[in-house]
Amino acid sequence: MKNDWLIPTFLVVILVITSAITITSRMWMLDVHRDLQKAEKKQSQLLDQKQALEIELISRTDLNLTERLVREKLGMRAMRPDQWQVMPK
């Protein structure tokens, strides 16, 4: 009769530990889900960008425009005349 409080106390401790584990695991799952959503959104944006670049590449037939854009974006210059080499036949 002296230890009547032992079993209810033990059950309360088990309940608290179980609740803490459940809450922690759900918070972890929410964090993982949020990270997954961010990754999927980034992947979708990259796929859209890739598709836009592929369409631009296919539609671009003006070589002068392409060369000018490459020179502007990449800082390329035309070759100097002394850099040209004549290939033998």
Q: Which residues contact 66 (CB under 8 A, 6 or more apart)?
A: 60
Share of residues in the chain with pLDDT > 90 (%) = 45
Mean predicted confidence (pLDDT) in 62-72: 78
> Could you give the CA distance from residue 65 to residue 73 in angstroms, rounded to a whole number?
12
Residue 1's pLDDT is: 56
The answer on pLDDT for 60 being more than 90 is no
